[in-house]
Amino acid sequence: MNVINHWVDGKPWEGVSGESTPVYNPATGQQSGSAPAGGQAEVDAAVTAASAAFAEWRYSSLTRRQNVMFAFRQLVADNRYDLAKQLTAEHGKTVDDAVGEVQRGLEVIEFACNIAHLVKGDYSEQVSTGVDTFTIRQPLGVVAGITPFNFPTMVPMWMYPIAIACGNTFVLKPSEKDPSTSLMVAEMLAEAGLPDGVFNVVHGGKPAVDALLHHREVKAVSFVGSTPIARYIYETGTKNGKRVQALGGAKNHMIVLPDADMDLAADAAVSAGYGSAGERCMAISVVVTVGDAADKLLPKVEQRIAELKVGPGMAEGAQMGPLVTSDHRNRVASYVDAGEAAGATVRVDGRGFSVAGSENGFFFGPTLFDNVTDDMSIYTDEIFGPVLSVVRTEHYEEAIRLINDNPYGNGTAVFTNDGGAARKFQNEIEVGMVGINVPIPVPLAFYSFGGWKESLFGDHAIYGPEGVHFYTRPKVIISRWPDPIHRGVDLGFPQHG
Ligand code: NAD
């Protein structure tokens, strides 16, 4: 049994609450470990350590911070398979997908290696006689990250490498469902030379989150998770005077126009709908077909689904693993029941799916619905499972309106060979990340990631240049050095002559 600890002031700590949360291996359905359920006392200890470390870390040189990031980058790269195997054991995704997750996190670390360039300010000489003006960006202090289960390694990496490189100190509250890799990276950061207290991990659920949201020393909170919790984090954090970025859930649509390359569109729909068993905030969950596109597309989608290999994430050749918990699998099944009862056509049914030799695993087979309408719960709600809904429309305008009326606005895509149609889409669509013949438009680390509407609360997207802005405050300095020519009393208003 894997016993997981908090990480406070540079070392593992079991905490004081005495409570714990079980951690499961979704492929076997067996408990594999337990994590302590932290609360006020654990958060107080972590924030105290982070606060003390900030006094020195904020004045560490940019070159020192870069050196730590370069060393950390190397350790993550060298250990990417160990990280991937551990996250597969707790999340369930295939190990190849997990390696990809680590890789995308690594790219943010690489971005943070360039911090000396990223925090440069502006300088204007002689804004008035003998007066210069310049800007600097300073760290905020102790900042917190609260992260979801679906990318247990990558999503925290969207936050702490940039926060720390900017000179802040960090308290991470990872998901209680797959908490282990946060401890592995804590050890790597220490080995990379990060001083004690700069990076801390507190496990737990709502009590730990609430303690962070109310702690006076926590200056900013980055959150990624579901929309109801994102809204709560944003409202509570800002009410307590904190800077907050809270990324929420999604319901991502992919439009397929009749002129699209149907093989490419079918590949994309299956990859983006069923990859990581649909447990991605950028997963496609609705395919909106226009005109006769559905009749050309759906047989190709069905054919690809039939060829998918579903199995334990560590199994050779597995393309899709189990869902994260049995509760979540039951929730996904109840949506499929509701969709069928509401009159949608079940073209592929993943209910009752089991994998030989892993009968107790939390598996759910790929599911495909046709003739879905916008009043059905399989359309309105984020299911977060391997369930793809097809909505048929007559006109492109109707397809665009569906997306723009949706309360979420994380990602979307259009599949077409018509440049004008693609341009109309990029101009008119009310979504933060847009793919043109690309189903999962996740920006690389030197851009920023963020949706619109109920997929993001706050003014800053995450990582990239916006990450640097989120984790720093700009200061403007207007300076004049005494010069004999300035002597003499002048009661007039400066005229910048
Ligand atoms: P979740 O909202 O249940 O949990 C996220 C975090 O909030 C966890 O650390 C959890 O411990 C904490 N939490 C849960 N309930 C809480 C409460 N009542 N009060 C305070 N804190 C609470 O999300 P999840 O199930 O772990 O992750 C899946 C969700 O995350 C999906 O909705 C998905 O779309 C979203 N997500 C969004 C993005 C994005 O970039 N927009 C990325 C990844 C995941």
Expressed in angstroms and rounded, the spacing between residue 54 Cα and the centre of ligand 1 is 28
Q: Any bridge partners for residue 252, and if so which?
A: 284
Which of the two residues, 259 and 18, has the higher pLDDT score?
A: 259
Pocket mutation for ligand 1, best pick of 226, 384, 387, 447 (most atoms within 8 Å of C-beta) = 226
pLDDT computed for residue 399 by the predictor: 98
Expressed in angstroms and rounded, the spacing between residue 147 Cα and the centre of ligand 1 is 6
Q: If you average pLDDT over residues 393-402, what whole number do you get?
A: 98
pLDDT computed for residue 482 by the predictor: 82
The overall longest dimension of the chain from CA atoms, in Å, is: 91
31, 118, 229 from 148: Cα distances, Å? 20, 27, 11
How would you classify the pairing of strands 199-201 and 169-173? parallel
166 among known catalytic residues: no
Q: If you average pLDDT over residues 180-190, what whole number do you get?
A: 98
| Confidence category of residue 348, pLDDT binned at 50, 70, 90 | very high
3-state SS assignment for residue 176:
coil
| Confidence category of residue 1, pLDDT binned at 50, 70, 90 | confident
Q: Are 162 and 15 in contact (CB under 8 A)?
A: no
pLDDT computed for residue 496 by the predictor: 59
3-state SS assignment for residue 132:
strand
Answer whether residue 26 shows pLDDT above 70: yes
pLDDT computed for residue 485 by the predictor: 72
How would you classify the pairing of strands 408-409 and 30-36? unpaired
How would you classify the pairing of strands 218-224 and 142-146? parallel
Locate the ligand 1 atom nearest the alpha carbon of residue 462 and give its number.
Answer: 40
Task: State the pTM of this model.
Answer: 0.97
Helices (H), 226-348: 227-239, 262-274, 293-307, 326-341
Q: How far apart are CA 256 and CA 128, in angstroms?
A: 58
**Pick from 266, 273, 274: nearest CA to 303:** 266
What confidence tens digit (pLDDT) does each residue in 128-165 have? 999 999 999 999 999 999 999 999 999 999 999 999 99
Q: If you average pLDDT over residues 211-234, what whole number do you get?
A: 98
410 lines ligand 1 (CB under 6 A): yes
Catalytic-role residue among 281, 290, 355, 414: 281
Locate the ligand 1 atom nearest the alpha carbon of residue 225 and give its number.
Answer: 30
Q: If you average pLDDT over residues 472-494, what whole number do you get?
A: 87
pLDDT over 90 for what percent of the chain? 96
Which of the two residues, 32 and 493, has the higher pLDDT score?
A: 32
Count CA atoms closer than 13 A to 184's CA, side-chain side: 24
pLDDT over 70 for what percent of the chain? 99
Q: If you average pLDDT over residues 276-280, what whole number do you get?
A: 98
Average model confidence (pLDDT) across the chain: 97
205 lines ligand 1 (CB under 6 A): yes
Write the residue with the smallest CA distance to atom 18 of ligand 1. 206
Residue with tokens 């707790």: 90
What confidence tens digit (pLDDT) does each residue in 354-372 have? 999 999 999 999 999 999 9
| Confidence category of residue 21, pLDDT binned at 50, 70, 90 | very high
pLDDT computed for residue 109 by the predictor: 98
225 lines ligand 1 (CB under 6 A): yes
pLDDT computed for residue 279 by the predictor: 98
